[in-house]
Amino acid sequence: METTFDYLRTHAVELGSRILETYPPLQSTKDAIAPALATLLRKALPAQALAITGTAKYLRKAKAARIVAECGAGKTYMALGTIHVLADGRPSTTLVMCPSHITHKWAREILLTIPRARAFLIEDMRNGGDIMSDERDKVRCQNCELVQWSDRANCRRCGNALPEPIVRIVERVVERVVIRQDPQCLQKLEQAHRLISAATERLQQPGAEEKAPILFSQISEAEAFPTMAEMERAIIVAAYERSNRKPLEAARLLGIGKTTVYRKLREMGEAAA
């Protein structure tokens, strides 16, 4: 054995057994998960349920715990699930300290995960509660793609109207739906929910593709149903042709970045030439 990798690969089984003997897990795959997870608004994946139950067990004895996982593993969801399990159906209050650029993400995740939850944002506890200048919202101009502060109505480069920051839109939606219980807004959300449910049921019905066939000139006739790659290719080529072969205009039509359009066109080669 010449490297550490060779040593670990040779003694992997023995090292794994020794680790389990020294540090026995609080929650194994054979143990039952916490019953409170069934009341969450979003169902936990098996690995997430395992981590949530184990973390909750540990926090009943200790003062702190860490959830270490890769990006996209659902660490925010697992933290919220742990809070919900520890509350055990009782009213509770939790203080979340996080970087300023993900405070609205945390608030959204709380409302989407924990039933009957309320979220309050504390922007700043300094200077009488004034928001610091470096925390102002930024927007990207849809015309020239310049990123700038959102304290003005028009772009400082091209003069076009700037889109409203998504943060303000989310704040208004949360306020109208959760806090003020706006009937009109709730009715629209219910209508959207019914439309999504109906579309989901239609797609799950056998033979749904025969009832509503998708026709694209770029789709090969050999397959009974188009693949995602074929549909993407057809849509990008159609947008490219409609924009008079201008990639930047095609990107605006598709609502994606110009870099993505350039890369897709290079991958297509002569088809988009």
The whole-chain average pLDDT of the chain stands at 78
The answer for 92, left when phi > 0, alpha when psi is -120 to 50, beta otherwise, is: beta
Instruction: State the Cα angle at 247 between 243 and 253, rounded to 5°.
Output: 55
Inter-residue contact 78 to 40 (CB < 8 Å): no
* pLDDT at 109 > cutoff 70: yes
- Rounded to two decimals, the pTM is 0.46
Give the whole-angstrom CA distance, residue 37 versus residue 41: 9
Min mean pLDDT across 59-63, 158-162, 212-216, 223-227 is at 212-216
CA 37/CA 39 separation, integer angstroms: 5
**Distance of alpha carbon 64 from its chain centroid, rounded?**
27
| Chain position carrying tokens 């309050």 | 120
The confidence score (pLDDT) of residue 114 equals: 93
Tokens 């066939």 sit on residue:
213
Given a cut of 50, whether residue 134 has pLDDT beyond it is no
| Residue 227: pLDDT over 70 | no
Which H or E element spans position 78? helix 75-87
Give residue 100's pLDDT band: very low, low, confident or very high (50, 70, 90).
confident
- pLDDT value at position 101? 80
Between 190 and 120, name the one with better pLDDT.
120
Pick 90 or 148 by higher pLDDT: 90
Q: Which residues contact 208 (CB under 8 A, 6 or more apart)?
A: 202
Which one is predicted more confidently, 234 or 176?
Answer: 234
